Amino acid sequence: MRDAVRRVLAARKDLVAGLPSGLKKREAEGGCGVLGLASTKPIAGRHLFPPMHQMHNRGNGKGGGIAAVGMDPEQMGVSPEVLARDYLLLVAYLDPSCREEVEAEYIDGPFDVDHTEALPTREMEEVPGLEVQPPEVVRYFVRPRENRLRTFAKEADLEDLPPGDLEDEFVYRNSYRLNTAFYASLGEQRAFVLSHGKDLMVLKIVGYAEQVVHYYRLEDITAHVWIGHQRYPTRGKVWHPGGAHPFVGLHEALVHNGDFANYARVTKYLRQRNIVPLFLTDTEVSVLLFDLLRRTYRYPLEYVIEAMAPTTERDFTMLPERKQEAYRRIQATHIHGSPDGPWFFIVAGRQPGGEMELLGITDTSMLRPQVFALQSGDVSLGMVASEKQAIDAFLRSVHEEDPRIWKVADRYWNARGGSYSNGGSFIFSLREGSEGLELTCTDKFGSPVAVSDAPVTTRVAANGGTLPALEGEDPGAIAKQALGYLRKSGPAEAAGLVHGLRKRGQRSDRDWRLALRSLTLLLDRPYPMEGWRRSRARADISDAIEALLDVGPPGDGKAFVKVDWGGRKLLDPPTEPDSTLLVDLAGFPAENEDSGSRFLVQAHELGWRRMRVFRNRGQRFIGCGLGPDSLAEIHVYGSSGDYLASGLDGSEIHVHGSAQDQVAQVMKTGRLVVHGDVGQTFMYGAKGGEAYILGDAAGRPLINAVGRPRVVINGTALDYLAESFMAGDPLKGGGFVIINGLNVDQRGYLVDRETPYEGGNLFSLASGGALYVRDPEGAVEENQLNGGEFAELSAADWELILPYLQRNEELLGVPVDRLLSWNGRSLPPERVYRKVAAVPLRALIPAHD
C-alpha cells in the first residue's frame, strides 16, 4: 500500500511540472466568520441567512462562500443513485465564452455525463449590496470513462489501486489540469473547479455568504451539512471569487479563519509531494494538506488532526505511551506541513463510505475564536462557529420552521488546541442507522460528547397556572419552590410552571417584577433537573423572560420604560431614580455610532442607572464607554457579543447566559457576573473589579492583569491562565483568581472535574497576585506552573477569599459548603484550596540584586 501511495504522488509530477513554486501568497487575509452545521434533518439554505448576517462584522463583503453536503437528489435533478454514485463537478465560468472549450477537454472527454445544469440565479440587482458579478456556475454529474480510467491506471502504474481510489485520483487530476489551464496559467482567469466530490457543492462569490444563497437561489435547497464563510481579504479590489472559501480537496470542503506564519514552508512540504497550490491562499494549502493526509496517505482522522495540530509540551507527555509513539512519528514526518500561527478550520465532506462529516480543528494555541454546540432530539444538530451568537441565530431560525428543534443547544463548548484532553478538534458524523440518519459527536480521540437524554416536550400541562409554587412574594422563595418542583416534575408540568410565572407577570407591576426575577433565577441557577431537558427548559424560560420584557409591566410605565431601535431617539431621562430601562437590542447594529452599546452610554448620560437589555443578537461592546466611575446596573439577556464590559469602571453587569470573547478587558472597578462561560482573553490587562463566572473561561484569561482584580471562576480555564499576572500582593490589596474546578453537568448537577486545570501553562512569568485553586487531591502539577509556586493556604488567605466565595454563592448559587466538600466529605479550607503565588524569577528581578 505504501508503494501505491508513492506511485500516486509520483504520477502527479506531470501535473505540476513547470508550475511556479506558489511560495508567495497571492493575497493576505485576516480572520473571518465561519459556521458549520450538521443535521439529521435536511436544512434549507435560507437558515444560513441569520447566522451569516450576524457575522458580517467578521468579513468585509469581499468574499463569501458556502458548501453543502447531503443534497436532495430531486432538487439536484438526479436520481438518488446518481447523487450517491456520480462525482458532482461544479465549474465556475468567470468567462462564460470558454465553456465549450472546457467541456470538450475536461468534461465530455474524460467523463460520462449523467446530468448537466447551469445553476439558476437571480438578477444581480435583486441581491442588495452585491457589487461584483458572480460567476456562471454549471454542475455536472459525471463518471470517469472506463477507457480513460484504464489508460490512466496503466500509464501511472496504478492498476492495483482500489477502483474507488483510482476514480478519485482521476477526478482530482482532471480538475487540477482544468484549473491550471483556465485559471493559473498565463495570468488569465477564465474558469475553475469549485468542487468535485460526490454529493458536495461549493459556491462562492465576491460578497457575503448569505448573498451566495440569495444569488444562486439556494433558499429552499436542502442539505444535511452546510458550511459558510465570510471573508476579510485585505486587498481592496477583488473581481472574482477564486480566492474565497471554501476550497476543496476531493471529498471535503474547508473554510478557514486565520493566517499562517509558515505558508511558504507548508507549500514546500506539499511541493515535495508533487502538490502545488494554484489559488495561492492559506485555505487552499490547508485543504490540499488535509486531502493528502486523509485520502492519499489514508490516515485515520485522528492522525490527520495530529499532523495538522500537533500535541506538544506537557499535553504530549500526558498521552498514553502508545499514542506518544505514534504521534512522535507523525510529527517527525509531517511537522513541516503543520500550519503555524492562528487558524481554525471547519471541514465538511462525504467519505467514500457515504458517511457525512463536519469537523472543526483549532490551532494548538487557540488563537482564533471557536464554539462547538450540540442539540440532540428528534432532530439532532451539530454546530460550530466563530461565535456562539451565530449558533443561536441558526437555532432560532430553524426552530421557527420546525418546533422539534429548540432555541438553545444542549451543550456549547470550546476545543482545547493540541491537547491531550480533546485534541483541539470535534467531529460530527452522520451515519445511516436503524432509524434513519444518526448524528454522533466525538473528539479527536474518538471519545463521544455526551448529552442528556432527558425528555423534551413542548406540551404545557394545564394545571401550570395554578401551581402553589407560583404564589408568594419573594422571588428567591418562588425560585426555590420552582426549583424543587422542576426537579421532580415531568416536562409538561415544568413547562406549565414557566408558563404560569409568565402569566403571573401580567397581573401587576409587582407581579411582573417577581415573575422576571424568579424566571431569571431559574435561567441562571445550576440546579438538578431530572424530568425535563435542561436546554429545553432554558429555551422556554428565555422565551418567557423575553415576553415579559417585551410587553413590560402592566402599570403606569414610570418604573419601567421600554425602548427599541425605532424609539431610540425619543428617550427621556428617567422620572424616578430607580426606574428601569428595558432595551430591545434586536434592531441595533453590532457596532458603530448607532450601536446598542452607544445607546446604553447615552441612556446612562441621561441618568438611567438600571437597564435590562434583551434580544441581544451578538451586539458588541455592551457596557463599554460608560466612562470612569459609572453607576449603571445592566442585565444582559440573549446572545451577547464580544468585548462586553471591556474597560468597565464602576458599573455592574450581569450576563444571564454565556458571554463571548474579550470580556472585561482592562476592567478597572465594578462588578461582572456571568451566569455561563466566558470566551477568550477574558480580563486581559484588567486593573481591578470583581468578576464571578459560573462556567469556564476559554484561552488566555487574565493575561497581563495588574492592580487588584478579584475573580471567581467556578469552572476551569483552557490554557495560559494569568500569564504575566502582576496584581500585587493579594493579602495587601492585590488581585487574585479563584478556580473552583466545577462543572454543571447535562442534568444541572454541580460535579467536580478530574482536575481543576488541564492546561500546560499556569501563572507563567507572573510577578504578583495569586491563584487559589480548588484542588484537594493535588491534581494540578508543578510542571504546569511556569514560574509560580504552590503555597499552603493560610488563615489570612481564607479570610481574604471567603467573602468572595460567599458573594459567589449569593450571585451564582454555588454554595460555599459545596465547594468545601469533596467526595461527599466536608473538608477544612486549607485541605481544599491550594494557593499559587509568584516567586521572584531571575528574569524579572533587578540587575544589581
Partner 1 sequence: MVEAEPLRVVSAPSYIWRTVNKYAVEILPDACIDCGICAQVCPYDVYEMKPGLVHISAPKSSNCIGPHNCEGQSFFCVDNCPTDAIRVGENAYYEDLGDDRWPADLITSTWYMSETGQLPPPGIESRIGDSGGGFDRLHFVFPEDPEPVEEVDTSLDLNRRPWGPRIRTPIPIYGAAMSYGSVSLNVMLSRIRAAKAWGTFCSTGEGGYPEALIPYADHVITQVATGLFGVSEASIQRAPIVEIKYAQGAKPGLGGHLLADKNTPDVARIREAVEKTSLFSPFPFHSVYSVEDHKKHVDWLRSVNPDALISVKVSTPVDVDMVAVGSYYAGTNILNLDGGYGGTGAAPDIAKKNIAMPIEFAIPKVHRFLEGEGIRDEIVLMASGGLRTAYDVAKAIALGADGCVIGTAELVALNCTRCGNCERGRGCQHGIATTDPELVPLIPADFGAQRIYNMYHAWRLQWVDLLTRLGLESFRDLRGRYDLLRYEGAIL
Applying the rule CB under 8 A, the residues between 27 and 66 that interact with partner 1 are: 27-33, 57-60
Nearest-approach distance from CB 599 to partner 1, in angstroms:
11
> How many positions of this chain bind partner 1 (CB under 8 A)?
78
Min separation Cβ 663 and partner 1, Å: 10
725 Cβ contact list (under 8 Å, min separation 6): 702, 703, 704, 705, 735, 737, 763, 766, 767, 768, 769, 838
Q: How far is CA 107 from CA 195, 453, 710, in A?
A: 14, 49, 65
Residues 753-812 that bind partner 1 (CB under 8 A): 765, 767-768
For 497, the grid coordinates are: 410552571
Three-state DSSP string of 217-242: CCCCCEEEEEEEEECCECCCCCCCHH
3-state secondary structure 444-480: CCCCECCCCCCCCCCCCCHHHHHCHHHCCCCHHHHHH
Of 389, 381, 363, 385, residue with least CA distance to 372: 385
- Determine which residue in the list 416, 609, 620, 753 makes contact with partner 1, applying CB under 8 A: 620
- Report the residue number, 44 or 666, with the smaller CB distance to partner 1: 666
Instruction: Choose the stretch contacting partner 1; rule: CB under 8 A; options: 22-30, 66-74, 187-195, 428-436.
Output: 22-30
CA distance 42 to 69: 10
Interface segment toward partner 1; rule CB under 8 A; list 181-189, 345-353, 620-628, 780-788: 620-628
Cis peptide before 246 (omega within 30 of 0): yes
Whether the Cβ atoms of residue 34 and residue 257 lie closer than 8 Å to each other: yes
Query: Please, which residue, 31 or 813, has the CB nearer to partner 1?
Result: 31
Tell me how far, at minimum, the Cβ of 592 lies from partner 1, in Å. 7
Candidates 425, 658, 662, 743; binder of partner 1 (CB under 8 A) is 662
Query: Cell numbers of 449, please?
Result: 460528547
Ordered alpha helix ranges (H), 292-320: 301-308, 313-317
> Which stretch in 449-457, 469-477, 577-585, 836-844 sits in contact with partner 1 by CB under 8 A?
836-844
List all residues 6 or more positions away from 416 whose beta carbon is below 8 Å from its beta carbon: 366, 422, 424, 699, 718, 719, 758, 759
CA distances in angstroms from 392 to 37, 389, 615, listed in the order given? 12, 5, 11
Q: Does 844 bind partner 1 (CB under 8 A)?
A: yes
DSSP 700-755: STTTT-BS--EEEESS-B-S-BTTT-B---GGGT--EEEE--EEE-TTS-EEE-S-
Site for partner 1 in 337-366 (CB under 8 A): 341-342
Residue 92 vs 626, nearer CB to partner 1: 626
Interacting positions 223-262 with partner 1 (CB under 8 A)? 232, 234-237, 257-259
| CB closer to partner 1 out of 690 and 752 | 690
Nearest-angstrom CA–CA distance, 138 and 119: 6
Residue 214 beta carbon to partner 1: minimum distance, rounded to whole angstroms? 22
673 vs 648: CA distance, rounded Å: 12
- Least Cβ distance, residue 167 to partner 1 (angstroms): 38
Partners of 294 in beta bridges: none
Positions in 729-758 near partner 1 (CB under 8 A):
729, 734
Residue with cell 454549471: 138
Q: Cell for 666?
A: 482592562
CB of 546 to partner 1, least distance (A): 25
**Near partner 1 in 486-545, by CB under 8 A:** none
To the nearest whole angstrom, how small is the minimum distance from the Cβ of residue 449 to partner 1?
Answer: 26
| Min dist. Cβ of residue 190 to partner 1 (A) | 24
Cβ(391)–Cβ(411) below 8 Å = no
Cα separation, 540 vs 817, whole angstroms: 31
Please give the residues from 568 up to 597 whose contact with partner 1 meets the rule CB under 8 A.
Answer: 591-593, 595, 597
**x/- map, 185-224, partner 1, by CB under 8 A:** ----------------------------------------
**Scanning residues 369 to 428, which ones bind partner 1 (CB under 8 A)?**
none
Among 98, 625, 749, 818, binds partner 1 (CB under 8 A): 625
Q: How far is the CB of 732 from partner 1 (least distance, A)?
A: 11
Judged by CB under 8 A, which stretch of 287-295, 645-653, 711-719, 815-823 contacts partner 1? 645-653
Answer yes or no whether residue 724 interacts with partner 1 by CB under 8 A.
Answer: yes
Stretch that binds partner 1, among 603-611, 665-673, 748-756, 796-804 (CB under 8 A): 665-673
CB 763 to partner 1: min, Å: 14
CB of 606 to partner 1, least distance (A): 17
- Report 689-718 residues binding partner 1 (CB under 8 A): 700, 703-704, 706-708
Looking up cell 412574594 gives: 473
Is 646 near partner 1 (CB under 8 A)? yes
Interaction of residue 603 with partner 1, rule CB under 8 A: no
Cβ proximity to partner 1, 135 vs 242, nearer residue: 242
| Residue whose CB is less far from partner 1, 452 or 680 | 680
| CB-nearer residue toward partner 1: 489 or 660 | 660
CB of 446 to partner 1, least distance (A): 30
* C-alpha span between 73 and 479 (Å, rounded): 51
Question: Are 77 and 110 contacting, i.e. CB atoms less than 8 angstroms apart?
Answer: no
For partner 1, give the closer residue by CB, 144 or 699: 699
* Smaller CB separation from partner 1, 2 or 732: 732
Q: CB-wise, 390 or 820, nearer to partner 1?
A: 390
Please report how close the Cβ of residue 362 comes to partner 1 at its closest, in angstroms: 12
Which amino acid appears at position 710 of this protein? R
Nearer to partner 1, 12 or 620 (CB): 620
The dihedral sign for the CA sequence 136, 137, 142, 148: positive
Is there binding between residue 13 and partner 1 (CB under 8 A)?
no
- Answer for which of 621, 637, 692, 763 binds partner 1 (CB under 8 A) is 621
For partner 1, which is the closer residue by CB, 428 or 682?
A: 682
* SS3 track for 117-150: EECCCCCHHHCCCCCCCCCEEEEEEEEECHHHHH
Report the interhelical angle of 321-334 vs 301-308 (nearest 10°). Answer: 60
Shortest approach of partner 1 to residue 340 CB, angstroms?
12
Distance CA 91, CA 535 (A): 43
Site string for partner 1, 541-560 (x = CB under 8 A): --------------------
Is 665 a binding residue for partner 1 by CB under 8 A? The answer is yes
Does residue 280 belong to the site contacting partner 1 (CB under 8 A)?
A: no
Task: With beta carbons less than 8 A apart as the criterion, state whether 647 and 624 touch.
Answer: yes
Q: What share of the chain is helix, strand, coil (3-state, %, to 5)?
A: 35, 25, 40
Q: Would you state the cell numbers that stand for residue 826, as one nine-digit string?
A: 466536608
